[in-house]
Amino acid sequence: MNNQTVVILDFGGQYKELIARRVRECGVYSVIVPFDTPTEKINEMNPCGIIFTGGPNSAYDAESPKCDERLFNLGVPILGICYGAQLIAFMLGGKVIPCKKSEYGITDCTVDTNSVLFRGLESKQRVLMSHTDMISVLPQGFDNIAATAICPCAAFENGKRKIYGVQFHPEVEHSENGTEMIRKFLFDVCGAVGDYSMENYLEEQIDAVRKQVGKKRILLGLSGGADSSVCAALLSRAVPGQVVCVYIDHGFMRKGESEAIKTIFGARDLDLVLVDASEIFLSKLSGVTDPEKKRKIIGTEFARAFERESSKLGKPEFLAQGTIYPDVVESGKNKSAVIKSHHNVGGLPEDLGFEGVVEPLRYLFKDEVRKIGKLLGLPDELIYRQPFPGPGLAIRVIGEITREKLDILREADAIVREEIGKSKRTKADQYFCVLTDTRSVGVVGDFRTYEYTLAVRAVTTSDFMTCQFARIPYGLLAKLSSRITNEVKGVGRVVYDITGKPPATIEWE
Ligand code: XMP
């Protein structure tokens, strides 16, 4: 990237990506790096500013994460947030102590409007606080520039050394002028010029792809999701006629999805290979009921099918992947327990024998990928698609998977997506159906029926790590139930899933 860059040092705080996105929204490129990245490496990035994230530790603990102390002498402006601010104070000779009373939530904060961070703002600011430690003594040469009722030093500055710290979280929406404060740090302290935009990212990546692949060919696994779709559109713009997209239909896609791929990408300057591998997947899954087994089989078969197809294509030299920035950022957290082995189309074995990998979206957050998709003229239905698991409907058919069950689920799912999608009164971030393995007795006319029970799942969530069930109006639930039981043969009962995550997960398997 040729842009001015802000380096974000990750101390394990949950808002690190939010900080990076806010900086980018201000028109300044940002990268997230681990907290212990050596100064030499940071220098190579030629940053115009450095931001320290928050984190769960206490600065005064011997074991807590610390940065390379030479960073403070680079002359590059630094802004510490929460733990990042405490760490700066601690490492430069100040004192950090546990708060008598922790401070969580939106708080009134009095700020010194003479400070460059707060210039032009009201002296009373509403900010989000979330801390159990606080700075009790500032290092020499530093001034206190904010306070709350609980926290006597809610922000500090050393204008000469261009080092700043805020105890609150300016990156979250609840801090009313938080973005404005970040903007002031970027433009008034770091001297940012705001040279980062999606238009110029797109142009740069088009150039980079051309340089990387020359006249050679690129193979891309197209899943129908936003990332691989935007990647395909970008590559066909960069090197028209040199891209082969392989779309493997495992038979678990939603209604109309494979046809839409054909229409959208068939009209672009790329070779589209559509492979119907549903027979193979279904036969491998015959008799399999265990969710993890299903996921593993689908992952393995997917990689196999992809290898088979790519070898038929005379081996294009490059492999493209729709990897995006959150997949790349190294996590400061420990490895967590495997709840589900996620499968994505990007999850191909590393050793497929390509000359190189092309990942033009690797530096982008999801909302930025969508903006690129728009610039490339992709339809909204593709760009704003809800997350759809790699194994598709296979993990929404509980128990053994059969064509008959898949067809039932596909029809019901289309109704649910249509009705919830058009309901203005319903707030739901993801909604779909699950075909349970339970049949139940019913009555239609004078006859007994014994058909499947279908579950409707709709959730509200901001990060898909936790969720609540969506409060769907009763009228809409009634409509879903009536349409599904009338229009979908094989469903005799419809239930609504009212479980949050935790304890449940969003998908049933
Ligand atoms: P869970 O069920 O883990 O789902 O609460 C969280 C989010 O992830 C999606 N999901 C997947 N996405 N490959 C994916 O790309 C997968 O294997 C997979 N499994 C679940 C799920 O739809 C939800 O949005």
| Secondary element (H or E) of residue 167 | none
pLDDT digits (tens, 9 = 90+) for 170-210: 999 889 999 999 999 999 999 999 999 999 999 999 999 99
pLDDT digits (tens, 9 = 90+) for 450-480: 999 999 999 999 878 889 999 999 999 999 9
Reduced to 3 states (helix: H, G, I; strand: E, B; else coil), residue 104 is strand
- How far apart, in whole angstroms, are the C-alpha atoms of residue 229 and residue 383? 8
Q: Which of residues 1 and 391 earns the better pLDDT score?
A: 391
pLDDT digits (tens, 9 = 90+) for 252-310: 999 999 999 999 999 999 999 999 999 999 999 999 999 999 999 999 999 999 989 98
For residue 299, report the distance from its CA to the centre of ligand 1, in Å.
14
Q: Residues with beta carbon inside 6 Å of ligand 1? A: 340, 342-344, 387, 389-391, 430, 464, 501, 505-507
Query: What is the average pLDDT value for the chain, to the nearest integer?
Result: 94
Entry pTM: 0.87
Average pLDDT, integer, range 41-55: 97
Q: Do domains 5-189 and 198-383 have the same CATH topology?
A: yes
| DSSP 8-state symbol, 177 | T
- Nearest atom in ligand 1 to the alpha carbon of residue 341 is 17
| DSSP 8-state symbol, 292 | H
Token pair 């492979």 is at which residue?
A: 275
User: Please, what sign has the CA dihedral across residues 124, 127, 130, 133?
Assistant: negative
Decide if pLDDT at 345 tops 50: no
- The residue type found at 313 is L
pLDDT value at residue 338: 64
Decide if pLDDT at 344 tops 60: no
Which pair of tokens denotes residue 314?
């005379």
Decide if pLDDT at 336 tops 60: no
- Nearest atom in ligand 1 to the alpha carbon of residue 225 is 15
Q: Does domain 396-496 have CATH number 3.90.1150.110?
A: no
State the pLDDT confidence band at 343, using cuts at 50, 70 and 90: low
Beta strands in 138-221 (DSSP E): 143-147, 155-158, 163-166, 218-221
Decide if pLDDT at 330 tops 60: no
State the pLDDT confidence band at 68, using cuts at 50, 70 and 90: very high
Of 74, 18, 87, whose CA–CA distance to 45 is shortest?
74
pLDDT value at residue 416: 98
- Percentage, residues of the chain above pLDDT 70: 95
Of 64, 51, 59, whose CA–CA distance to 134 is shortest?
59
- How far apart, in whole angstroms, are the C-alpha atoms of residue 402 and residue 58? 54
For residue 57, report the distance from its CA to the centre of ligand 1, in Å.
30
Check: CB of residue 361 under 8 Å from CB of residue 324.
Answer: yes
DSSP structure string for 324-370: -HHHHSPP-SPPPP-SS----TT---S-S--SEEE-TTTT--HHHHH
Nearest CA to ligand 1 atom 7: 464
Domain boundaries, the chain: 5-189, 198-383, 396-496
Reduced to 3 states (helix: H, G, I; strand: E, B; else coil), residue 455 is strand
Decide if pLDDT at 445 tops 50: yes
Residue of 340, 345, 417, 460 to test ligand 1 pocket, by largest number of atoms within 8 Å of CB: 340
Q: Which CATH number fits domain 198-383: 1.25.10.10, 3.40.50.450, 3.40.50.620, 3.40.50.1980?
A: 3.40.50.620
- Percentage, residues of the chain above pLDDT 90: 90
* CATH class of the domain defined by 5-189: alpha beta
pLDDT value at residue 121: 98
What residues act catalytically?
Answer: 82, 169, 171
Nearest CA to ligand 1 atom 15: 389
- At 152, give phi and psi (nearest 5°): -70, -25
pLDDT digits (tens, 9 = 90+) for 384-432: 999 999 999 999 999 999 999 999 999 999 999 999 999 999 999 999 9
For residue 341, report the distance from its CA to the centre of ligand 1, in Å.
9
Residue of 293, 342, 501 to test ligand 1 pocket, by largest number of atoms within 8 Å of CB: 342
